[in-house]
Structure 1
Amino acid sequence: MKTSAPTAHDDLREALRDLSAQFPPEYHRDHGARETYPEQFVDALTKAGWLAAMIPESYGGSGLGLTEASIVMEEINRGGGNAGHCHGQMYNMGTVLRHGSEAQKQKYLPKIAAGELRLQSMAVTEPTTGTDTTKLKTTAVKRGDRYVVNGQKVWISRIKHSDLMILLARTTPLADVKKKSDGLSVFIVELKDALGKGMEIKPIRNMVGHETYEVFFDDLEIPEENIIGEEGRGFRCILSGLNAERVLIGAECIGDGYWFLEKAAAYGKERLVFDRPIGQNQGVQFPLARAYVNVEAANLMRFEACRRFDANEDCGAQANMTKLLAADASWEAANACLQIHGGFGFAEEYDVERKFRETRLYQVAPISTNLILSYIAEHVLEMPRSF
């Protein structure tokens, strides 16, 4: 299938497709059905250096940009996998890289690049705040040379397959700050020192089978050297990572979109009804053609967001638009693919139902479509804030 990607990166794509080919649909189908973690697949990505793509060469990484990282995520999903099992490391690592001290970078980045440590988890969302991040209730109180954390987080993923976790907590009460985004701080949590020692987790069963948890903090102690950036200015540290997150997840949706389109087009050519391939009918062709146009449009926005991010230009609007366009396009492609497969689309052996559930998530997370529209209205169209 032809694409309009302005920077093809053929060698990169070929290498990723070769790796993905070692893990056939049956592998991902089995893990999906059993709701287990695809450890071998993630290990292969780690050993090949793909999950350290954005770590500078001086810290043992590949020194690539968000453009290349987004292609990694795209190709994982286009190859039938689910990058949601490992995408956290791509954008969580940027919080350390862009805002961490030199000591923190030296301590963690080389080990992440070598695959000795995983930084897959980020704890921001809470049960009563959701995307209203500045009102989060988890606190971190300074006591001597440590911060003591109390509170609760929800929808925190991959904890059992991560060594490190980024945590956002309030260090100054909301009533004592001039701006509600002030007084929040970011910490790096070493999970081996936290689990069972002030931090407990409870799994959340969900329709995607995605490994995610509720997290409870009860006097968890974090050394003061584990604060990232300046105390009280953590919200700014998180935002730079969120732009990368939105672009990378947009790229995953683009990969899903191409997967659905390729799957549906192939089925449309081979499935015979009334002595003719169903793909000969415009009623089958048009939904796929429309979905392809929209995936391509999202693809172009993705590369513009990446270009801006890699050039250290403002990319907030482009990152948000990438996520919105890509999530909508992949969902449109998913619906067309399922409809074309008819009853077989619901059968596990065709993989459509698994990918259908996976891509549906991104209408909701990591930021809802409506919140993106609010962002564009306020920050691009300069309309009054709606909330």
Structure 2
Amino acid sequence: MAADFGPEYFLSAARNGQKTDELWAALAEPGFLGVSIPEEYGGGGGGITELTAVVEETAAAGCPLVMLMVSPAICGTVLARFGSTAQRETWLPGLADGSIKMAFAVTEPDAGSNTHAITTTATCGPDGWTLRGTKYYISGVDEAAGILVVAATRDESGQPLGTSLFIVPVDAPGLQKTLIPMEIAAPEKQFTLHFDDVALPPEAVVGDVGGGFRSVFQGLNPERITGAAVETGIGRYALEQAARYGLERSVWGAPIGTHQGLSHPLAAAKIELELARLMMWKAAGLHDAGVDASEAANMAKYSAAEAALRCVDQAIQMHGGNGLASEYALAPYWGLARLLRIAPVSREMVLNHVAQHSLGLPKSYGGSRS
């Protein structure tokens, strides 16, 4: 289905500031966008495994959609597990049928990966909450109906109540959205969000007040797993283009794919990609089985990003100068793959996680190293 649109459609939308609404609607019609949403809310009742398949195949057709990582993977997962009945009834059917999208806002200019240092604050009052602060690099706000926002909460006297999660409508008074110019070609744009005393009703809280990190962390593994799927899909797309060109392009009387200087690096990239895919499917299976998938999800995200970059780089090398020509539609995917090496979690933070939790080594940040 995504191949009917392909890289020409995707890159045209990205370069011209357009959205991939036609592809989104095509995926929604048979229910692919809602495969991981519970059946009682119009979804397929599957898990992250099914959604990962949709994300990867779409990217492998040259149409990597970042909002699939955000709207159904993070927001759908969190709301299905922690949302109130009213919240689930309001948001999940639209997420399932593709009629609405949701964004997710946790990162801040001065917090970065340190989510415990966020300064966006929601203060409790007699009529609800007042939200104040800034979020940074938030994807797809211009195409979303609502935003899941992570904020530190306080009572009326200013005493901390812990971190909580809120649903904020994108048209809420006091919310300002500023576009961040980017050098990559992607339909999804990045924004800085300013919350200037945004008033929210009591029912805007998702889950328990002070239980925000518990809610958020349930959405981070699906984000990392589907992020890996975007990367492996990009890698598959690049390898397919490279192999085709290696057969079609001839020098010195033979296809260039004959030469081991080109074929062996591409074969090595293929091996790395398939290994990353195995970890991705392992992580998805663990998550859907209700097992802690943090280690596998982080490893999948890390290995998929490294493999995708290797695949795209070798595909460009196989094409020579044509690898950077617009006609061959490769260079923009390098930018997307490179972005996902940083987000939704940087490779350095993945290495920190593995060193600390998998190997039992001392924590290298956030306090004394002794």
TM range (shorter): over 0.9
Instruction: Please tell me the residue identity of whatever aligns with 2:301.
Output: K
In structure 2, the gaps of 5 or more residues are 366-370
Partner of 2:191: 213
Instruction: Please tell me the residue identity of whatever aligns with 1:233.
Output: G
Q: Note the alpha carbon deviations across 1:364-383, whole angstroms, 9 max, x for none.
A: 11111011000001011111
Partner of 2:174: 198
Question: Does 2:212 match 1:234?
Answer: yes
The answer to whether the 8 A contact 1:85-1:158 is kept is yes
Moved over 3 A (4+): none
Structure 1: how far apart are the matches of 2:86 and 2:325? 51
Question: Does 2:366 match 1:373?
Answer: no
Instruction: Indicate the RMSD between aligned Cα atoms, in angstroms.
Output: 1.5
Question: Does 2:15 match 1:37?
Answer: no
Q: Note the alpha carbon deviations across 1:4-38, whole angstroms, 9 max, x for none.
A: xxxxxxxxxxxxxxx11321332122112223222
Structure 2: how far apart are the matches of 1:23 and 1:117? 21
Partner of 1:69: 51
Partner of 2:85: 102
Q: Normalising by structure 1, what TM-score?
A: 0.90
The answer to whether the 8 A contact 1:37-1:85 is kept is no
Partner of 1:340: 318
The Cα of 1:176 is off from its aligned counterpart by 6.2
SS in 2 for 1:171: strand
The Cα of 1:240 is off from its aligned counterpart by 1.0
User: Are residues 116 and 38 of structure 1, via their aligned partners in 2, closer, same or farther at CA, if it must alter by over 3 Å?
Assistant: closer
Instruction: Please tell me the residue identity of whatever aligns with 2:85.
Output: E
Question: Does 2:305 match 1:327?
Answer: yes
In structure 1, the gaps of 5 or more residues are 1-18
Partner of 1:83: 65
Instruction: Please tell me the residue identity of whatever aligns with 1:68.
Output: E
Structure 2: how far apart are the matches of 1:206 and 1:55? 32
SS in 2 for 1:372: helix
Partner of 1:13: none
Structure 2: how far apart are the matches of 1:353 and 1:368? 22
Partner of 1:12: none
SS in 2 for 1:55: coil
Partner of 2:279: 301
The Cα of 1:85 is off from its aligned counterpart by 4.2
Instruction: Please tell me the residue identity of whatever aligns with 1:235.
Output: F
SS in 1 for 2:350: helix
Q: Percent identity?
A: 35
Q: Note the alpha carbon deviations across 1:157-192, whole angstroms, 9 max, x for none.
A: 11111111100001049x966xxxx71100111223
- Which of 141, 157, 163 is equivalent to 1:159? 141
The answer to whether the 8 A contact 2:72-2:95 is kept is no
Question: Does 2:257 match 1:257?
Answer: no
- Which of 179, 182, 185 is equivalent to 2:164? 185
Instruction: Please tell me the residue identity of whatever aligns with 2:183.
Output: M
Question: Does 2:267 match 1:285?
Answer: no
Please identify, of 42-51 and 334-343, the stretch whose mean Cα deviation from structure 2 is larger: 42-51
Q: Note the alpha carbon deviations across 1:125-177, whole angstroms, 9 max, x for none.
A: 1011111111011000011131101111111111111111100001049x966
Structure 2: how far apart are the matches of 1:239 and 1:85? 18
Partner of 2:368: none
Please identify, of 82-91 and 268-277, the stretch whose mean Cα deviation from structure 2 is larger: 82-91
Instruction: Please tell me the residue identity of whatever aligns with 1:108.
Output: W
The Cα of 1:110 is off from its aligned counterpart by 2.0
Instruction: Please tell me the residue identity of whatever aligns with 1:208.
Output: I
Structure 1: how far apart are the matches of 2:6 and 2:231? 20
The answer to whether the 8 A contact 1:60-1:110 is kept is yes
The Cα of 1:68 is off from its aligned counterpart by 0.9
Question: Does 2:221 match 1:243?
Answer: yes
SS in 2 for 1:207: coil
Aligned residues: 360
The Cα of 1:63 is off from its aligned counterpart by 0.7
The answer to whether the 8 A contact 2:174-2:198 is kept is yes
The answer to whether the 8 A contact 1:254-1:298 is kept is yes
Partner of 2:130: 148
Structure 2: how far apart are the matches of 1:114 and 1:293? 36
SS in 2 for 1:321: helix
Partner of 1:3: none
